[in-house]
A and B are shown apart, each in its own frame.
Chain A
Amino acid sequence: MRRIIAVLLENESGALSRVAGLFSARGYNIESLTVAPTDDQSLSRMTIVTSGTDAIIEQITKQLNKLIDVVKLRDLTEGRHLGRELMLVKVCAANIDQKDEIKRLVDIFRGHIIDVTESTYTLEMTGSSEKVDAFLEALSQIELVEVVRSGILGISRGKNALKAPPLS
C-alpha cells in the first residue's frame, strides 16, 4: 500500500543523504521525496511517498526514527490527511487551436498558465496526485516539451500536527 510519511529532521547538511541512503541500502521504495526548511530554520520537513507491506512500512518508520537527525515522524496515511503535488508542464502552443484547447483544459482543472512564449505555454497545476495525473492525461493530444513534478507534500487534517519538541 502507498504511504505518505512526514519527517521532521535537523536542518543539517547530510541529513538528506542519510534518509536517501537508508532507503537504497535497505531496498525500500521511494516514489517521491520532497524536503525544505520549515518555519523553524533549524528544522527541515520531508515528505516521503513509499509503498510496501505493513511489515516493511513498520521497518521503514523504525529505521527512519533511528537516524540521529530525525526528530519526529508520522505516517500520515494512518489518519485523515491531505496530499498535494505541484506540476509544471511546458507544452507546444504553436497555433490558435492548440492555444484554445490548452487554455480550456487549464481552466477546467483550475490551473494557471504561468509563462508564454511564441511557441510554448508553461502550465502550473496543483492538486492531489490523481488530479495531476488526470490533467496530464487530458493533455494527451498536446505535445509536451517538459514535465516537472514536485512529489507529494503531506499534512494531517484537524488539530494533529507534527511538531518538534522545543530546542533545549
Chain B
Amino acid sequence: MILKGADILVRCLQDEGIEYIFGYPGGAALHIYDAVYRQDKIKHILVRHEQGATHAADGYARATGKAGVVLVTSGPGVTNTVTGIATAFMDSIPMVVITAQVSSHLIGDDAFQEVDTVGITRPCVKHNFLVKDVNQLAETMKKAFYVATSGRPGPVVVDVPKDITAQTAEYKYPKTINMRSYQPRTKGHIKQIERGIEILLQAKKPIIYSGGGVVIANAGPALTQLVDILKFPSTSTLMGLGAIPASNPCFLGMLGMHGTYESNMAMYECDVMLAIGARFDDRVTGELAKFSPNSKIVQIDIDPASIGKNVAVEVPIVGDCNEVLLVMNEQLKTKVDKIDRAAVEQWWEIINQWKTKDSLAYDLDDKVIKPQYVVQKLLEITKGDAYITSDVGQHQMWAAQYYTFEQPRRWINSGGLGTMGFGLPAAMGVQLAFPHEVVVCITGDASIQMCLQELSTCLQYGLPIKIINLNNQYMGMVRQWQEFFYDRRYSHSYMDALPDFVKLAESYGHIGMRVEDPGQVDDVLEAAFSMKDRLVFVDVITDRTENVYPMIAAGKGHNEMHLKPGDQDAQERELA
C-alpha cells in the first residue's frame, strides 16, 4: 500500500498498538497532525506545554509498562520536551518521541524553528534517529519501539523532516527487527547465578536491596518469592517501592538519604548484599567511602554498565531481573536448608532492635497540619490502592515514606532527575491508562506551579485526578537544607505571592478545597475522594517548618543517620 509519510507514521503507531499520543502541533508537524485527524484508532491528547506531553507519556509508561508516545513540532516544540526526555532517561522509562523537523533541504540553514534535535537530545536518549528517506520511516519506527522497550528501556527520539512526511512510499510495518549492533542480553549466566547463590547461602547478615529495575522488569512477584524463600531482610530504593509489598514482614522500608534507620543500618552492617535492578545512586549509598564496609555484593542488572560502576561487586549477573530471579528461586528451593538460620535469626534480632527507634515517628499537633498525617490519611482513604504520582521535594519523600505501596507501578515519581513539574502531567498519563482507578498527585506549592497549565488538559479530557498540595509556602526541601547547612539563611526558598489555589482550580473548571485546621483534614479528604468524576485540588496548609527525617547528610555514611530532633542520637551527631 502506497502512503504518505505522515500516514505511514500514524499507521506504524496503530500497528504498534498505541492507544494515546501526547502532543502539541506546529508548522513542521502539520502533515502528521492531518494524518492524526484522518483516523480514529489512536487518541491524541492535546497538552498545554510539550513538557507536559513528555511527563504524561512517561506516567503512562510507568503505570502500564508500555511505551509512551509523544508528538511535537520542530524547534521550540523539541526544546520543551528535553526536560521530560531526560526525566524518562534517568529512570529508564520506555518512550518514543516523534519530533517534526524542518524540511530536509533547509536542515543546517538556521531555518525557522530549526534546532539540531538529534544533537540536543543525544545525551539524554537511549538512541535517536533522523529519518532521511521516507522508505526507511516504517523500519525506523519499528527500531525505535524495539530499542525503547527492550534491554534497559529508555526514551528514543525519531526526528522526521516535514518533506518526508509529504512524500510517499510503500507501507509495510516489519513484524520483527534484528539489529546487529543491539542485542540486549536477558538470560543470566547460569554459572554466575550459581556463584551468587553460594554467597547468599553463606550469609550471616544478609540484605536484599532492590530498585526500579525490578519494577521495570515486572519482577515484583519473583522478588517477593525470593524474599519469602530466603526470609532475608529487604529494602528498596525510592524507585523500587511496591515491587515487594510494604506489608511483607521482611521489608524494612526504603533506604537512602531519607530511608528508615533499620534499612540503612542493615546496609552498613551486612555481610552479604544482593542488589537487584538498583544502581548504587549517591542518594542511596551516602558517602561511598563509608558504604557497607564488610559486605560481599551480588548484583543483578540488565545493564552491564550499571554493575560495578560506583561500588565493586563480587558476583555480577547480567540479565533481566525477572528471568534471573526465576532461575534463582528454582535453585534456592532445594538449597534453602543450607542457610545458617541461627545466624540470620540473630541478625534479625539486631534489626528489630534498630526498628524500635521508630525512625518515621512524628509528633501530631492540634494547631497545624502535619504533612505526614495527610499522607497517612490518604493511604487510609484510598485503601493503599491508588496510583500516587508526586513532584519533587519534601512532599515526595513523605509520600514515599508514609504511603506504603503493596503493588509495583503504583508509585510514580521522578527519582533520577528529580524533576519538579512531573507530578500533574504524569498523573494524566496514568489516569488515561486506568480511567477507573484512583489517581492522586501529591505535590508542593512550588512544584505544582511548574506544569500547572495542564489543569486545562485535565478539564478537556475529564480526568478526575486528586491533587493534594502539601502547601508549606516554602520550597520545603531547599529550606530544609538551608536550615541545616546554611545557618538558616533562607535564600530564595520562600514562595512569596502564592496564588489562591482554590480559585485557581475553579478558574480551570475544577473543584478547589482548602484545609488549614488539623481537625478537618479527614473530612475534607473524604469529601474530595467522594467526588469520583471530578478533578479536586486540595490545598492543604501544612506546618511550614516541618523537616524530612531521618536523614543522611552529605558526606555521611549509612551508620550516621540524623534522626528527628529530640532523638538522643540526633543530639550526639552534629550535622554538617
**Interface residues of A, Cβ cutoff 8 Å to B:** 9-10, 13-14, 17-18, 21, 25, 55, 58-59, 62-63, 65-66, 68-71, 164-168
Contacts and interface: CB of A to CB of B under 8 A. Distances in A.
A62 B305 contact: yes
Interface in B300-320: 303-305, 308-309, 312
Contacts of A58: 308
A72 to B, nearest CB: 8
A66 B147 CA distance: 11
A66 B123 contact: no
B499 interface: no
Contacts of B181: 9-10, 68-71
A165 B180 contact: yes
A68 B122 CA distance: 12
A55 to B, nearest CB: 7
A59 B178 CA distance: 26
Report the 3 A-B pairs with minimum CB-CB distance, sorted nearest first: A62-B305, A68-B127, A71-B181
Given A14-B118, A21-B122, A167-B180, 18 more contacts: A13-B130, A17-B119, A18-B122, A21-B123, A25-B123, A62-B304, A62-B305, A63-B305, A65-B304, A66-B303, A68-B127, A68-B181, A68-B182, A70-B181, A71-B181, A165-B180, A166-B180, A168-B178
Contacts of B395: none
14 contacts: A9-B181, A14-B130, A17-B122, A21-B123, A25-B123, A63-B305, A66-B304, A68-B126, A68-B179, A68-B181, A71-B181, A164-B180, A166-B180, A167-B180
A68 B305 contact: no
Contact of A55 (B178, B179, B182, B308): B308
A25 B123 CA distance: 8
A66 B119 contact: no
Chain B interface, >50% SS class: mixed
A59 B309 contact: yes
Nearest to A55: B308
Contacts of B180: 71, 164-168
Contacts of B308: 55, 58
A17 B180 CA distance: 20
Contacts of A166: 180
Interface string B142-182: 00000100000000000000000000000000000011111
A58 B178 CA distance: 27
Interface in B91-128: 118-119, 122-123, 126-127
Nearest to B126: A68
Q: Which of A14, A65, A66 has the most CB of B within 10 A?
A: A66
A48 B127 CA distance: 21
A65 B178 CA distance: 17
Contacts of A9: 181
A66 B122 contact: no
Nearest to B179: A68
Interface in B317-359: none
B185 to A, nearest CB: 11
Nearest to B181: A71
Nearest to B184: A66
A21 B121 CA distance: 11
Nearest to B304: A62
